[in-house]
Structures are given as structure tokens and as C-alpha cells.
Amino acid sequence: MSENQTITVRLIRSPIGRQKKQQDTLRAMGLTRLQMERNYPDNAAMRGMVARVKHLVEVIES
């Protein structure tokens, strides 16, 4: 995890019917629609958020 590394996270499954914590995590990440992509710094905090919703998102390392 280098300082300048980023990850791209894409929402691939709907949060409808999921636990509220998972829905809140996606909202905090700014992922509100299917196929939406966001870029984030590759750090432990972001990796933890991705791990909480790993079954709903796709991670592209860059």
C-alpha cells in the first residue's frame, strides 16, 4: 500500500434487502447506483470498508 496507490470500487450488486450497516457503508463510500465507480486511496480504512461489503462491490487495483 503505497502512498500514491489508489483503488477503484464499482457497485455490482444492489444493497436492497441487505443489513443496514452494509447499506450505510455503501452510502458513506458514495456508491448509490449500480455500476457506479469511485476512486479511493489504498489505505487500511478504505480496505476495511470494502471488506464489509465485498460481496456487493468489485475492486480494481491501480
Question: For residue 1, is it within any domain?
Answer: no
Alpha helix segments (H runs only) across the chain: 20-29, 44-52
φ and ψ of 21, to 5 deg: -60, -40
pLDDT in tens, 20-35: 999 999 999 999 999 9
Arithmetic mean of pLDDT, 36-40: 97
Residue 44 lies in a domain: yes
For position 2, what pLDDT does the model report?
55
Please give the helix or strand (H or E) that residue 7 lies within, else none: strand 6-11
**29 within a domain of the structure (yes/no):** yes
Q: For residue 35, what are the domain limits?
A: 6-61
Residue 52 within a domain: yes
Query: pTM for the full model?
Result: 0.88
Q: What is the CATH number of the domain that holds 20?
A: 3.30.1390.20
pLDDT at 14: 97
Residue 37 counted as domain residue = yes
Q: How many domains does the chain have?
A: 1
What pLDDT shows up at residue 4? Answer: 80
